[in-house]
Amino acid sequence: MLFISDAHAEAAPAPAGGGTEMLIMIGIFFAIMYFMIIRPQQKRQKEHKSLMDSLTKGDEVVTNGGMMGKIKAVSDDVVRIELTESVVIKVQKSAIASVLPKGTLNQDD
């Protein structure tokens, strides 16, 4: 050990309580993530699921693509939407963005 000095850092004891502070910081971080990101997303998913379950014949809806029409038939996963008197399309229930108030669409245009 003539040319290499001894490492003195390994002899120093670790500071007391250093691990608990880090665990508290990680816990606070996850709590913030839960309330800022995860919880609102779950709430939106729950609202969209209830919208899908409440679709009935005659509802006026808007799809994610922006098409507006009146529901003619509802099955498990598919909704038939009448865009005009001669145009009826089939879309998945999950493609429905929102339900419009009754009478919003004027079919005479």
pLDDT score recorded for residue 19? 81
Number of H helices, E strands in the chain: 2, 5
Question: Of 78, 57, 81, whose CA–CA distance to 67 is shortest?
Answer: 81
pLDDT score recorded for residue 20? 86
pLDDT in tens, 47-82: 999 998 899 999 999 999 999 999 999 998 999 999
8 A C-beta contact, residue 37 and residue 82: no
Strand partners, 90: 80
Q: What is the CA radius of gyration of the chain?
A: 29
pLDDT score recorded for residue 9? 56
pLDDT score recorded for residue 91? 95
